[in-house]
Amino acid sequence: MSGAAQPDAAPALEVIGLRKSFAGRPVVDDVSLSVAPGEVLGIIGRSGCGKTTLLRAIAHLDPPDDGFVRVGGHAFGPEVSPAGVVRRGWRRGRDISRERHRIGFVFQQLHLWPHLDVLGNVTRAQSVVLSRPAPVATERARALLARLGIADRAAMRPAELSGGQQQRVAIARALALDPPVLLFDEPTSALDPELTGEVAALLRTIAGEGRALVVVSHSLGFVRRLCDRLAFLDGGHVVEEGPAARLLDAPRDPRLARFLAALAPPFPSPQPAR
């Protein structure tokens, strides 16, 4: 671990009592989390436990039914006034859109714009969301592409890139908006195993700049290498949370222990001596 997170720092991201249901079924149920600047929090759990829904609710892509999100101490969505009154006035779509750049989101399917080249993918959101002049947005995009090692791909379309290169374009697009918080949904799911270490190193570098990262992943090796802390979700609840190594090596909740045991690679049976 990089040690970038400052334990006493004010949270970069606070999630308080977040709830989200679909068709009356709770998917995220009273989740509270906190992530410091420079810290990487991993979210693990079985398929369908609410991991992706939690990320989307945090970013208000699927607005939560209840609960609060704060970025750097400032409300992202509804907030409670000092008098205890919930302010929901700017929860309207266009108001949320004006604030969404504070939380970057890298989707599992990446969602790059297929009709734009790499440079266009990284400049477009800057122009639309931040109203950056085209020369400023282009300069920022080129600097990020160079930093991520894909400057020579600027004129290519996403379909012409490898999976790893597409992943870097999606990360560059998110970073271009300068968010203090970044959410990643299964960032290695479409990559060859040998690239996961490369992605982990890149995300650690990003966290080392003081950004808070929340990463959903099914890969225990990846989260062990990347994350400072883990939160295990089961049935929409955070069942156990703590340092990554401790959760992976000495789980306290039996549900987490069963989950880890199910993912552990089977060991071959010893062959009888001849």
Residue 83 is part of a domain; what is its CATH number? 3.40.50.300
Asked whether the CA dihedral 234, 238, 244, 249 is positive or negative, the reply is negative
Q: Let me know if residue 5 belongs to a domain.
A: no
Residue 267 confidence (pLDDT):
46
Structure tokens belonging to residue 149: 């090692």
Q: If pLDDT is split at 50, 70 and 90, which confidence band does 89 have? A: very low
The tens digit of pLDDT for each residue in 212-261 reads: 999 999 888 899 999 999 999 999 999 999 999 999 999 999 999 999 99
* Cβ proximity of 209 and 159 under 8 Å: no
Question: 217: domain range?
Answer: 13-263
Q: Let me know if residue 159 belongs to a domain.
A: yes
Q: Let me know if residue 2 belongs to a domain.
A: no
**Of all helices (H) and strands (E), which one includes residue 257?**
helix 254-263
The reported pTM is 0.86
Q: Let me know if residue 96 belongs to a domain.
A: yes
Q: Let me know if residue 253 belongs to a domain.
A: yes
How far apart, in whole angstroms, are the C-alpha atoms of residue 147 and residue 151?
Answer: 8
How far apart, in whole angstroms, are the C-alpha atoms of residue 125 and residue 100?
Answer: 11
Q: Let me know if residue 64 belongs to a domain.
A: yes
Q: If pLDDT is split at 50, 70 and 90, which confidence band does 272 have? A: low
First to last CA, the chain: 46
Residue 269 confidence (pLDDT):
47
How far apart, in whole angstroms, are the C-alpha atoms of residue 162 and residue 160?
Answer: 7
Alpha-carbon Rg for the chain, nearest whole angstrom, is 20
Q: How many domains does the chain have?
A: 1
Q: Let me know if residue 45 belongs to a domain.
A: yes
